[in-house]
């Protein structure tokens, strides 16, 4: 079951006896756990019927003991096990999973790790209950996720606004969700979110951001790229180098895929598919193929790795982040 289907089911108060929420992306695990907390019991019922446990403090037998309690003046008991990845004897859950307490909703928040799906307990949870894997969203999936989230809040959005949010906030799903929730409180429902809305309400400059830096480089507007670098240097807290190098690396990784496809003889209208981007996104990358061939892109990706290491203190002779970005742009433009 995917995230949207699971959320829809919980909102209808169709609860399962056990939810085992696992995986690398903590955001979706937290959202499902919170939704069950808020939906399964009323505020008055929670005092006697909701228990939060921590995996570092309990073993499976203690969790089962709590789960076998009967509700008091409520329809169900809710047990939430946070940090469940610290429980070492989860195999002992097998017998309870085969015959769970029907009036209990038992939630395991098993973050940053996954159960071995070959194990018996994983097979039981998958077949009889909910075994949900919260997967990290990759860079190229973020724009579609941002657009979908905006639509769920009642907004349309311009492609540039979506790209600004995606490029500036990266794969930090929690922060994206928080910023879009903030938009939903300020901007009238049914509005179209454009770059001015993003700049005003999220604080991302529509002219000086990582999205515009990539566009300036890709279009050969190197004077603009240098102006953006100077803005970043003057506003380092809003534009951390680690984020910029990550976004530039993604930009050149996409260019590499497109350049390789072009070199192999593929027509221009097939390059987007090879690079894993939409046709409208490809329009931002195609001009760069006039300036950057496969060999030059490979060199630039090496410069990006070098800058990333220097920003973390490796072979850095005291250069600031501003100095490192200036040096990086010089190499991208002139070498």
177: Cβ contacts below 8 Å, ≥ 6 apart: 27, 31, 149
pLDDT at 279 (0 to 100): 82
User: Tens digits of per-residue pLDDT, 30-63?
Assistant: 999 999 999 999 999 999 999 999 999 999 999 9
Q: CA–CA separation, 143 vs 160, rounded Å?
A: 10
Q: Is the pLDDT of residue 256 over 90?
A: yes
Give just the sign of the alpha carbon dihedral 318, 319, 320, 324.
negative
Say how far residue 306 (Cα) sits from the centre of its chain: 25
131: Cβ contacts below 8 Å, ≥ 6 apart: 20, 22, 115, 122, 125
Q: Position of tokens 């180098």?
A: 241
Kindly indicate the confidence band of residue 252, based on its pLDDT and cuts at 50, 70 and 90: very high
Q: CA–CA separation, 283 vs 261, rounded Å?
A: 15
Q: CA–CA separation, 311 vs 245, rounded Å?
A: 10
User: Tens digits of per-residue pLDDT, 112-129?
Assistant: 999 999 999 999 999 999
281: how many CB neighbours lie within 10 A of its CB? 17
- What is the C-alpha end-to-end distance of the chain, expressed in Å? 49
Kindly indicate the confidence band of residue 3, based on its pLDDT and cuts at 50, 70 and 90: very high
Q: Is the pLDDT of residue 278 over 90?
A: no
User: Tens digits of per-residue pLDDT, 199-251?
Assistant: 888 877 888 888 899 999 999 999 999 999 999 998 888 888 988 998 999 99
pTM metric for this prediction: 0.70
What are the CA-CA distances from residue 222 to residues 218, 219, 225 (Å)? 9, 8, 5
In CATH, what class is 3-133?
Answer: alpha beta
Task: Report DSSP state, residue 87.
Answer: -
Q: CA–CA separation, 216 vs 122, rounded Å?
A: 49
* pLDDT averaged over every residue in the chain: 92
CATH no., domain 137-205? 1.10.8.60
Assign domain 207-335 one CATH number from 1.10.1740.10, 1.20.272.10, 3.30.565.10, 3.40.50.300. Answer: 1.20.272.10
91: Cβ contacts below 8 Å, ≥ 6 apart: 60, 119, 120, 121
Q: Where are the domains of the chain?
A: 3-133, 137-205, 207-335
Rg (CA), the chain: 24
What are the CA-CA distances from residue 27 to residues 6, 32, 54, 122, 125 (Å)? 14, 9, 18, 22, 21
pLDDT at 199 (0 to 100): 85
Which two three-digit tokens encode residue 141?
């999936």
Closest CA to 100 of 72, 77, 123: 77
User: Tens digits of per-residue pLDDT, 140-149?
Assistant: 788 889 999 9
For the segment 276-301, the average pLDDT, to the nearest whole number, is: 90
Q: Is the pLDDT of residue 71 over 80?
A: yes
The partner residues of 106 in beta bridges, in order of sequence, read 18, 79
User: Tens digits of per-residue pLDDT, 95-114?
Assistant: 999 999 999 999 999 999 99
Q: Is the pLDDT of residue 335 over 80?
A: no
Contact 285, 254 (CB under 8 A): yes
Q: CA–CA separation, 175 vs 177, rounded Å?
A: 5
DSSP string, 69-131: PPPSSSS-EEEEEETGGG-S-GGGGHHHHHS--TTEEEEEEEETB---TTSHHHHHHHHHSEE
């Amino acid at each position: 079951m995917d995230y949207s289907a699971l959320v829809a089911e919980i909102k209808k108060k169709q609860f399962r006896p056990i939810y085992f929420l696992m995986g690398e992306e903590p955001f979706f695990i937290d959202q499902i756990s919170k939704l069950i907390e808020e939906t399964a019991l009323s505020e008055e019922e929670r005092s006697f019927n909701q228990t939060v446990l921590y995996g570092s403090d309990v073993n499976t037998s203690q969790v089962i003991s709590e789960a076998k309690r009967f509700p008091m003046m409520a329809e169900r008991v809710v047990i939430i096990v946070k940090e469940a990845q610290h429980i070492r004897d989860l195999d002992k859950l097998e017998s309870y999973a085969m015959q769970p307490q029907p009036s209990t909703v038992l939630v395991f928040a098993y973050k940053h790790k996954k159960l071995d799906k070959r194990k018996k307990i994983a097979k039981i949870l998958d077949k009889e209950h909910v075994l949900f894997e919260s997967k990290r969203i990759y860079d190229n999936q973020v724009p579609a996720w941002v657009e979908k989230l905006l639509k769920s809040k009642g907004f349309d959005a311009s492609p540039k606004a979506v790209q600004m949010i995606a490029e500036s906030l990266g794969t930090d799903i929690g922060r994206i969700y928080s910023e879009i929730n903030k938009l939903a409180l300020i901007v009238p429902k049914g509005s179209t979110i454009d770059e001015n809305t993003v700049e005003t309400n999220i604080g991302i400059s529509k002219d000086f951001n990582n999205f515009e830096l990539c566009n300036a480089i890709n279009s050969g507007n190197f004077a603009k790229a240098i102006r953006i670098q100077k803005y970043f240097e003057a506003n380092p807290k809003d534009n951390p180098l680690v984020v910029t190098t990550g976004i530039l690396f993604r930009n050149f990784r996409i260019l590499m895929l497109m350049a390789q496809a072009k070199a192999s003889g593929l027509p221009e209208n097939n390059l987007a598919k090879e690079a894993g981007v939409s046709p409208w996104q490809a329009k931002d990358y195609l001009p760069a193929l006039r300036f950057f061939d496969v060999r030059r892109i490979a060199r630039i990706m090496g410069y990006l790795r070098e800058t990333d290491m220097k920003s973390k203190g490796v072979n850095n002779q005291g250069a600031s982040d501003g100095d490192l970005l200036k040096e990086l742009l010089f190499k991208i433009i002139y070498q």
